[in-house]
């Protein structure tokens, strides 16, 4: 499992714990990452809203750099917005040679050339397809039994390209969560929109979208995400939204690799749990209890085995 790694800008700033947990979890799971040298912004939602050429050239620049790297042509992307921007260029040039020429005319300004020979993959796809629940069960040193986890997929890893999941009723995270020993919180908000950049420019609209998601997360111990923008929207405005709606909508929000890293035996610090904005004290307590119980059960089982072996 070797991948070229495109972290994206957020993962160097407000989503540092997503970068950290992605790296340590994937390493623990046996994957190898090589960061794309000299990568730059994918254009986010800003390029698409400003210039068609930039919306093509900014992601394509990174694909061209990836092609120059040699070795694997698989690019792993944890951020859903980056993923879709890169993926869209990969998909579009397959069917449109003129578009590839147009892109290369722009990239020529940097002496770069894109041939169209890469495969862009979302972190979630790699987790569910390449790693898979079996490997996670096998490598699990701890269990999250007793915790209920709400899988939140967001939009852009699911749509418009239906690569690894049902874009209407996503379910790929369920077996992974179950492999961690936790229960899946069943809801119908997994693939609904968090409002993306609305929190900055259309705050009232963004707050309403997030409110509807948080209110359906009730009963779950935590929501897990696979995108820095979803994560920020769901975790950063809980107090404000709770106050406005007159109900307590506080809930722990984690990145999926943080949760899986814990299960694989990494420490809270190693997965950057102290960096999240919405991890409740109740959740931490329950998490530690769950992990302790699992450790106790295992050592107990081990003792029994030893005793039995000694008896024989």
Beta strands in the chain (DSSP E): 2-5, 32-35, 74-77, 119-122, 148-151, 183-184, 222-225, 252-255
Please tell me whether residue 128 binds another protein under the rule CB under 8 A. no
Least Å from the CB of residue 284 to another protein: 16
Contact 192, 225 (CB under 8 A): no
Please tell me whether residue 105 binds another protein under the rule CB under 8 A. yes
Least Å from the CB of residue 10 to another protein: 8
Nearer to another protein, 59 or 261 (CB): 59
* One of 30, 32, 37, 52 touching another protein (CB under 8 A): 52
Contact 217, 280 (CB under 8 A): no
Q: Which residues contact 299 (CB under 8 A, 6 or more apart)?
A: none
* One of 106, 145, 183, 295 touching another protein (CB under 8 A): 106
Nearer to another protein, 41 or 295 (CB): 41
Least Å from the CB of residue 82 to another protein: 11
Give the three-class secondary structure for 228: helix
Strands 2-5 and 32-35: parallel
Q: Which residues contact 86 (CB under 8 A, 6 or more apart)?
A: 6, 42, 59, 62, 63, 75, 77, 120
Least Å from the CB of residue 48 to another protein: 5
* One of 24, 55, 147, 184 touching another protein (CB under 8 A): 55
What tokens does 76 get? 């792993």
- What x/- string results for residues 190 through 219 when contact with another protein is judged by CB under 8 A? --xx-xxxx-xxxxxx--xx----------
Least Å from the CB of residue 216 to another protein: 14
For residue 150, list its beta bridge partners.
223
Positions 143 through 182 that interact with another protein (CB under 8 A):
155-156, 158-160, 162, 167-168
Strands 148-151 and 183-184: parallel
* One of 61, 142, 185, 211 touching another protein (CB under 8 A): 61
160: preceding bond cis by omega (within 30 degrees):
yes
The region, left, alpha or beta by phi > 0 then psi within -120 to 50, assigned to residue 140 is beta
Residue ranges that bind another protein, judged by CB under 8 A: 9-10, 12-16, 38-41, 43-55, 57-58, 61, 102, 105-110, 155-156, 158-160, 162, 167-168, 192-193, 195-198, 200-205, 208-209, 236-237, 274-275, 277
């Amino acid at each position: 499992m070797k991948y070229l790694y495109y972290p994206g800008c957020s993962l160097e700033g407000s989503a540092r714990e997503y970068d950290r947990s992605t790296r340590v979890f994937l390493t623990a799971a046996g994957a190898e990452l090589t960061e794309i040298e000299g990568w730059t912004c994918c254009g986010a939602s800003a390029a698409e809203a400003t210039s068609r050429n930039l919306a093509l050239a900014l992601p394509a620049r990174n694909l061209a750099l990836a092609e120059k790297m040699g070795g694997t042509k698989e690019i792993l992307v944890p951020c859903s917005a980056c993923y879709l921007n890169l993926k869209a260029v990969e998909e579009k040039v397959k069917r449109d040679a003129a578009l590839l020429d147009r892109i290369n005319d722009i990239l020529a300004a940097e002496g770069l050339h894109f041939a169209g020979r890469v495969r862009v993959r979302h972190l979630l796809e790699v987790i569910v397809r390449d790693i898979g629940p079996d490997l996670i069960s096998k490598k699990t040193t701890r269990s999250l039994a007793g915790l209920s986890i709400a899988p939140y997929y967001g939009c852009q890893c699911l749509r418009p390209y239906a690569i690894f999941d049902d874009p209407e009723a996503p379910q790929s995270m369920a077996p992974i969560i179950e492999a961690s020993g936790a229960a899946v919180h069943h809801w119908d908000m997994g693939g609904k929109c968090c409002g993306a950049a609305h929190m900055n420019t259309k705050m009232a609209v963004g707050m309403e979208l997030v409110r509807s998601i948080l209110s359906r997360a009730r009963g779950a111990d935590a929501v897990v995400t696979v995108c820095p923008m979803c994560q920020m929207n769901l975790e950063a405005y809980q107090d404000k939204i709770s106050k406005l709606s007159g109900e307590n909508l506080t809930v722990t929000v984690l990145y999926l690799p943080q949760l899986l890293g814990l299960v694989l035996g990494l420490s809270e610090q190693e997965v950057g749990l102290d960096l999240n904005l919405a991890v409740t004290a109740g959740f931490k307590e329950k998490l530690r209890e769950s992990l302790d119980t699992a450790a106790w059960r295992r050592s107990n089982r081990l003792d029994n085995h030893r005793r039995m072996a000694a008896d024989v």
